[in-house]
Structure 1
């Protein structure tokens, strides 16, 4: 492996995707500069992404970051589904083809801090409050920073979110459309502890779709297909306190290209979709891991070819899942109460469902 010694990999954006790229690049011997226009990492109480999937844990295991994430997070091993207010189905994720058959529940801010600490321990500090304001020559890129510095780069990665400056400088079309339904969330503290290893999903009831994802036995996140988070809070009588709340719209977009020359897009800079299924942050981290691997192997030209099929598949899957949870067909109740329990008696079906829910049906990194 030949790693350039005179020019760094420049990363615009220090969210979980940019930080994962920095971690994977540094452990593979690349020099890194990482900048972010914000003044610091995501506030823990405003963490949008919270589900870490098995492939992400596998990717970050080589650096040791996964060990810290596992120590801090809550494994979600089961899913309970209610239909029209009555229990309908329950299944375990433990049949999945992975050593970590669960979703790790951990607020995004804590995931970011684990990677920031790892990088700091190796002499790499995030340059907060520094924005990419210009980009020259995609084949031998120069990043122009808000500090006035002109930084010659070996490669440049745009991990700078949906409103990516890197994508704008590349003038790449944003393909897709917005989704007509609005969502809301509320992080709540419960009066009485519950099962912390179980996602609770309610469909077909008078209030519409609701989900509860635990952070720990008495704290978790309510999500619903509703305009106002206060509506979610008012529906329950077991809430001790309310933390961060938000309402948001979703869209299904992707960049027409994920690279041009030695400039690359990863994460939300390259694609956005519904949070249903918990793919968003994970898909971006997988982009980052592939990019670090290909850069270190001098095969960066393969990046778009490797990533675009998975991006398209995830957008297709999440669109289908979002349609199902926002407007379940009438026959959903019968499937949940009768067909699904019967099917789950078969080990192969249990494995396939668990693998699908944990995104293990997508192409896995070749180096793992």
Structure 2
């Protein structure tokens, strides 16, 4: 039975929007507000990869079909050392209806979710920051407009500098990382294979980079470079740069993911490097779990279910980031000689594909 309780969602990025979708489809009334003026600009891809678990979760709302129609499926990857390709990976053997990564710019993902919510009379309140949360046992959200909103639960999806997390006094635990990531969304002068990603392990350390296609003429370049210009210069046939940025990364999580009736999800609860494409997806898995538990009157289980998964993902992404940033000496021979043989064994190839697609993590219990 649907709950009548109002859930207030702070933050209308893809995680907050997914929370609104999952709660709304379960009959739970929501309000969702964001301090920004609108969704991510359409020309900034930001979070790009949508993983199989996310598509399975969004099937029930009908959004998976819309996302698939708007995006590009990436079903494999070629790994190189320098300019020489050493191994190809195929994701088709993974045990999922979606054996691929869906490449879809964040701005498009957000707009499809906003459209879905609008069709159900749920509107994002833009330019409305959260200023206070009040008593975590009976939260009353004070907004920048001066309005006070009494809510049964508050879900903080308001990013790494979360006001909600600050309000409930939950500290970060973890550490920073010395490397700098550069990224650039680019258009190519010649077509690329839109269904295969490319990864290059660089030498010396700090020059590894990847290309994730967005179409047969556009893609995301990302790597350990101190400037997007150097990253773009290392690629071939780049016609123009659509968007570029550099950023530092950290591996941190909230010490806890709930306090009373206030809950944290997405970047408000955990931040890490983009290696593996887990960030946005992990946040969507958080809020989908919350929506399920809330609708079942089991929200007190949220932290115990999500925190172990968050810890696992942070450990995995930290290890992956270190490996790509400064590849160990054994990695070259492993990729050249062992991986081609290993991936030829169906069982091993399937396990690798499922690890890359995050299918080794706990899957949604309600599906």
What range describes the TM-score normalised by the shorter chain of this pair? Answer: over 0.9
Q: Does the 8 A contact of 1:229 with 1:245 survive in 2?
A: yes
Match of 2:286 in 1: 287
Q: Output one character per residue of 1:105-149: Cα deviation in whole Å (capped at 9) or x when no partner.
A: 000010000100000000000000001101111112110111111
Q: Does the 8 A contact of 2:2 with 2:28 survive in 1?
A: no
**For structure 1, which segment, 122-131 or 41-50, has the greater mean C-alpha deviation from structure 2 after superposition?**
41-50
Matches within 5 A, 1:43-58: 43-58=41-56
What secondary structure sits across from 2:89 in the alignment? strand
Q: Is structure 2 residue 86 aligned with structure 1 residue 88?
A: yes
Q: CA deviation at 1:47?
A: 2.6
TM-score by length of 1: 0.98
Matches within 5 A, 1:56-67: 56-67=54-65
Q: CA deviation at 1:237?
A: 4.3
The whole-number CA distance in structure 2 between the counterparts of 1:59 and 1:237 is 37
Q: Does the 8 A contact of 2:117 with 2:123 survive in 1?
A: yes
What secondary structure sits across from 1:81 in the alignment? strand
Given candidates 123, 126, 129, the residue that maps to 2:124 is: 126
Q: CA deviation at 1:304?
A: 0.1
What secondary structure sits across from 1:79 in the alignment? strand
Q: CA deviation at 1:240?
A: 1.2
What secondary structure sits across from 2:86 in the alignment? strand
Matches within 5 A, 1:135-284: 135-205=133-203, 208-284=207-283
Match of 1:329 in 2: 328
What secondary structure sits across from 1:354 in the alignment? helix
TM-score by length of 2: 0.98
Count of matched residue positions in the alignment of Structure 1 and Structure 2: 366
The whole-number CA distance in structure 2 between the counterparts of 1:236 and 1:53 is 26
Q: Output one character per residue of 1:344-363: Cα deviation in whole Å (capped at 9) or x when no partner.
A: 12111011101100000000
Match of 1:360 in 2: 359
Q: 1:304 to 1:186 in 2, by over 3 A?
A: same
Q: CA deviation at 1:204?
A: 3.2
Q: Is structure 2 residue 305 aligned with structure 1 residue 306?
A: yes
Q: CA deviation at 1:2?
A: 5.2
Unaligned residue ranges in structure 1 (runs of 5+): none
Q: Output one character per residue of 1:326-346: Cα deviation in whole Å (capped at 9) or x when no partner.
A: 011112111111100111121
Match of 2:109 in 1: 111
Unaligned residue ranges in structure 2 (runs of 5+): none
**For structure 1, which segment, 200-209 or 253-262, has the greater mean C-alpha deviation from structure 2 after superposition?**
200-209
The CA RMSD measured in Å over matched residues stands at 1.0
Q: Does the 8 A contact of 1:88 with 1:333 survive in 2?
A: no
What secondary structure sits across from 1:44 in the alignment? coil
